[in-house]
Amino acid sequence: MGTLHLPPEVEAVFREFRTCEFTTVNRQGQPLTWPTEPFYDALGGRLIVTSSIAFPVKAYNARRHPQVAVFFSDPTGAPLTEPPAVLVQGDAIVTELVDDPPWSYAMFKESILRQPRTRSFVSNPLARRLFTFQFQRLAIFVQPRRILVWPWGDMGRTPTELEVRYVE
């Protein structure tokens, strides 16, 4: 697919927001939205969220109903001034995160940098053993199909739709 061609303020949201509101749809057609830590795989032009194998409902939902949404509306902790809110509607592919691909190291590092207190936790073999399930994860790759942007996060306005365009 290549990298996504994005305005810098939207790319900054993908890179810097600490949480997104990630929605899957269950068997009954009910949307379920939970706060989730997002990762932007710039080279792959996709967003990645993960889920512990202990709590795999969102991954199961995304497998059954691949149309999902990733909403960036809470900038808490992001070093950005008046960022836009961004909604990505996309198609999900779910896989077990077992082969430790290169991007998974970058994701791990980014997560620790965002939550500095967890450094001592992951460095402690006993903690890792007790909470092994936290490190056994399912990856949900979201390929954007539609991107809506609300400048300054102002939901009273009609959003601007970006053309989803990839650059090789």
Give the separation between CA 36 and CA 153, rounded to whole angstroms. 19
Q: Which is nearer to another protein, 5 or 146 (CB)?
A: 146
CB closer to another protein, 95 vs 167: 95
Q: From 2-10, 25-33, 39-47, 160-168, give the range in contact with another protein by CB under 8 A.
A: 25-33
Confirm or reject binding of residue 160 to another protein (CB under 8 A). Answer: no
The residue within the footprint of another protein, chosen from 64, 98, 161, 167 (CB under 8 A), is 98
Nearest to 6 by CA among 147, 145, 106, 168: 147
In this chain, which of 76, 81, 126, 168 binds another protein, going by CB under 8 A? 76
Alpha-helical regions (H) of the chain: 8-16, 57-64, 102-114, 118-122, 125-130
Which amino acid makes up residue 72? F
Residue 10 engages another protein in binding (rule: CB under 8 A): no
Residue 122 binds to another protein (criterion: CB under 8 A):
yes
| Structure token pair of residue 31 | 């949307």
Choose which of 74, 93, 103, 164 interacts with another protein (CB under 8 A): 74
Whether 94 contacts 139, CB under 8 Å: yes
Instruction: For 67, list phi and psi in degrees, rounded to 5.
Output: -75, 115
Contact at 8 Å (CB) between 149 and 162?
yes
What is the C-alpha to C-alpha distance for residues 131 and 138, in angstroms, rounded to an integer?
Answer: 16
> Which is closer to another protein, CB of 125 or CB of 167?
125
Listed ranges 3-11, 18-26, 39-47, 160-168: which one lies at the site for another protein (CB under 8 A): 18-26
Q: Whole-angstrom Cα distance, residue 17 to residue 78?
A: 5
Binding site for another protein (CB under 8 A): 18-19, 21, 23-25, 28-35, 37, 52-56, 65, 67-69, 71, 73-74, 76-77, 85, 87, 89, 98, 100, 105, 108-109, 112, 114-117, 119, 122-123, 125, 128, 130-136, 145-146, 153, 155-159
